[in-house]
Structure 1
Amino acid sequence: MTVPLAASIVDLLLGLKLGASDKAARDRWSLEGVTWKSEQDGAIEVGARQFEAIALRLASGALTLEIDRIAVRELVGQLRTDAGALHLSALEAAEAELSGVRLQGPLTVPPQLLAAWQALRSADEAVTPSTAADAWCLGPLDAADGTIRGEIADAHLLFDADVTVPIRQGHIDFNDATVEHVGPDSRMGVSRLGLYVDAPNGRSYLYQFASAPLAGVEFERRGALLSPWVSERGKLHLKTFAETMLRQSAGGQGHGLTEQARLLLGRTALSGEVQLSDGLFAVPGLHVRLEGRAEGRNAVVMRSDALGQGLTVEMAALSAGKALVDWRGAQLACDKITARLKLQLRVEGQQLRFVLEIENCKVVGARVDLRPHRDARNA
């Protein structure tokens, strides 16, 4: 099979523009052990013992995907006739390895996520509690451990400060959070109005809630006998709190970040490490179960010189199983995936762009289904 023919097939199947990732190099393709046979139901099964490609570049609109190398073993596809033309209906592979993967482009909300949000916001759409629970699940936060640190430079609205927020077993206890600066230190906490900072010059809210009580929150408590002093600063259970906030945002509820908080975050340098726990991560269109905490996998490192300019997130050892993705009418799944990830978010003018780099990626039991199927939540 020649390269032009292979490129034409990919163009037809995926609707992508194909070329070499390096103009000085040529993309190379190879197929070994090709098989072809007809099934009793009229389908045609096409297989290959191994497929390998080097120096690929694929583009779809503003998105570009570059792959230094991809090797797929025990590849099997099904072709079916529809209106007199052959179409790929399913694809399976025992194993795939990828290196030098780089996906970049403008950061936009996926159509599936927008559709889910619109459904939740529609007054005519009946959303049961079980449906809402299935749409958002942040299981890896349930027993997460780590520390988030922020350095607010030249924060003339309040103060220059070093902020430290520990995360223990999936909880943030604001009694343990510190806000250090010149003069008496400030304290963070959570009240029924929102997340706040008590500074020497008074209380300022960073995030305001739409309503209280809010799931996943233990609000601050005052001292005895109507004391004005706060005895407990409050706690957040990250998994429950984050899921609730996502649903409220999807429903058009919530005041969100205050203008003062936005200005502060724009001048805040961030760093932190969080060890995620095993569990299901699910949003509309994506289900994946993280695993391997006992071996130190799925630890997240974050850093930013200024959040107003961008953020970098790295996972040295992603390990997940039973992944399922709905994308453009196709359903992609695998039994297990391991990789090293690096995600960069950059502010360029009025636009937010992303660069996702993947190394040492191994996928086991990969499947692509292009036939009509149920929503990923019910699969």
Structure 2
Amino acid sequence: MTVPLAVSIVDLLLGLELGSTAEPARNRCSLEGLAWKKSGEEGAFEVSVQALEATSLRLASGPLVLEIGRIALREVTAQVRTNAGVPRLSSIKAVEAELSGVKLQGPFVVPPHVQAALHALQGVAGAVAPATATASAPQAASDWTLGPLGAAEGTIRGRITDAHLLFDADVTVPIRRGQIDFNDATVEHVGPDSRMGVSRLGLYVDAPNGRSYLYQFASAPVAGVEFEQRGALLSPWVSERGKLHLQPFAEAMLRQWSGGQGQGLTEQARLLLGRTALSGEVQLGDGLLAVPGVQALMQGSGQGRNAVGLRSDALGRGLTVEMASLSAGNASAKWRGAQLGCDSMAGRLRLQLLVEGAQMRFVAEIENCKLGGLRLDL
């Protein structure tokens, strides 16, 4: 049977607000093989559906808006319990789910010191950008786990136009085995080239007119950092520019920022970001990725999955992150007392971070997404 979806399933479960049904094709649902039976508990029963398909859904929760072009579930089982005479869903399981045309957008709200840190990471080590949206881990709400960065491989390229410090510079930052070796990073421009590095004070650029810091550490030492080294005792010359091991460095910095620490982006770096175009490709490794309320085991790097493309015409205005082949397993998310999980996940992801004046917002789009072993507990 096919009927207008007067109140969406997500609305029932999570208290979302259903969009207008003025358009005939919006918010519609079809069911096949509907059946129910009593469960073992008193006042409980089980509802099963062979196939459930919904199209053109539009849901809202405050400033967040979720649009789903199509969602199809196979072999759905729902447990319903009666509380004070009112039936309530307690759990839903589906053997398989397919989604397309999914778009989630809204304000990207973070504390000021975290926002500055995110911009700094975009400008200096764009490889960590995919992992800094939001974070936590299964162990504790304050923990961060960025396992896929540990074996990341790729190259980040920047073009700084009319830069006061770097004179129209082309910046290339290689990423090898999950680390950035600043001895291999290049900053090319007219005249003597500049060099990037990391000292106990922070991430810097040595330009012809002197050293400038892009990001300053709140304190040293910082996990995942090998600081620069001088050639000889009291020598002014730098023999080693230093290294960043991306996973421990990013995890440590995120913990500092969530605790209200961190110096942040310098004013010189803010000016550079407005003139910096960015591009790059980074192949993430396998491992646990955990952010606040969400975690997943990223897998399939050997087959080229979870490769990240980065693009920005000007970092001061925003950044686009694309994953043509997202692949993960054992994923779970918690929200408003509900827990959503799945055994496997595959699809295509596009994430935009947009800077509009003093505000930031995000647009996340998912296509050709398949979920296996889907479950929702309320």
TM-score over 0.5 (shorter chain): yes
Cα distance in 1, alignment partners of residues 346 and 362 from structure 2 = 21
Find the counterpart in structure 2 of residue 288 from structure 1: 296
Cα distance in 2, alignment partners of residues 66 and 307 from structure 1 = 27
Q: Structure 1 residues 337, 303: CA separation in 2 closer, same or farther (over 3 Å shift)?
A: same
Cα distance in 1, alignment partners of residues 318 and 237 from structure 2 = 38
Deviation at 1:276, TM superposition (A): 0.1
Find the counterpart in structure 1 of residue 306 from structure 2: 298
Percent identical among aligned pairs is 73
Amino acid at match of 2:29: W
Find the counterpart in structure 1 of residue 68 from structure 2: 67
Q: Which runs of 5+ in 1 are unaligned?
A: 114-129, 371-379
Q: Aligned ranges for residues 140-155 of structure 1 at < 5 Å?
A: 140-155=148-163
Find the counterpart in structure 1 of residue 323 from structure 2: 315
CA deviations 1:148-200 (Å, max 9, x no partner) are 11111121244221111000000100000000111100000011111110111
Is the Cα–Cα contact under 8 Å of residues 284 and 301 in structure 2 kept in the other structure? yes
Q: SS of the counterpart of 1:246?
A: helix
CA deviations 1:331-368 (Å, max 9, x no partner) are 11000000001111222232212111111000000111
Q: Aligned ranges for residues 332-351 of structure 1 at < 5 Å?
A: 332-351=340-359
Q: Structure 1 residues 24, 131: CA separation in 2 closer, same or farther (over 3 Å shift)?
A: closer
Q: SS of the counterpart of 2:7?
A: helix
1:165 equivalent among 148, 153, 173? 173
CA deviations 1:79-121 (Å, max 9, x no partner) are 11223321111111000001111111212359xx9xxxxxxxx
Find the counterpart in structure 1 of residue 185 from structure 2: 177
Q: Structure 1 residues 10, 101: CA separation in 2 closer, same or farther (over 3 Å shift)?
A: closer
Amino acid at match of 2:361: R
Q: TM-score, normalised by structure 2?
A: 0.88
Q: SS of the counterpart of 2:257?
A: helix
Deviation at 1:226, TM superposition (A): 2.5
2:213 equivalent among 205, 214, 235? 205
Cα distance in 2, alignment partners of residues 109 and 156 from structure 1 = 30
Cα distance in 1, alignment partners of residues 5 and 45 from structure 2 = 19
Question: Given the alignment of the two structures, is residue 266 of structure 1 paired with residue 267 of structure 2, yes or no?
Answer: no
Q: Aligned ranges for residues 325-336 of structure 1 at < 5 Å?
A: 325-336=333-344
Say what the alpha-carbon RMSD is for the aligned residues.
2.2
Find the counterpart in structure 1 of residue 92 from structure 2: 91
Q: Which runs of 5+ in 2 are unaligned?
A: 115-137
Question: Given the alignment of the two structures, is residue 359 of structure 1 paired with residue 367 of structure 2, yes or no?
Answer: yes
Q: Structure 1 residues 131, 291: CA separation in 2 closer, same or farther (over 3 Å shift)?
A: closer
Cα distance in 2, alignment partners of residues 9 and 290 from structure 1 = 28
1:231 equivalent among 231, 239, 257? 239
Q: Structure 1 residues 5, 142: CA separation in 2 closer, same or farther (over 3 Å shift)?
A: closer
Between 1:282-291 and 1:231-240, the stretch displaced more is: 282-291
Is the Cα–Cα contact under 8 Å of residues 21 and 67 in structure 1 kept in the other structure? no
Find the counterpart in structure 1 of residue 125 from structure 2: none
Q: SS of the counterpart of 1:261?
A: helix
1:245 equivalent among 250, 253, 267? 253
Is the Cα–Cα contact under 8 Å of residues 192 and 209 in structure 1 kept in the other structure? yes
Cα distance in 2, alignment partners of residues 290 and 366 from structure 1 = 17
Q: Following superposition, which runs of at least 4 residues in structure 1 exceed 6 angstroms of deviation? A: none
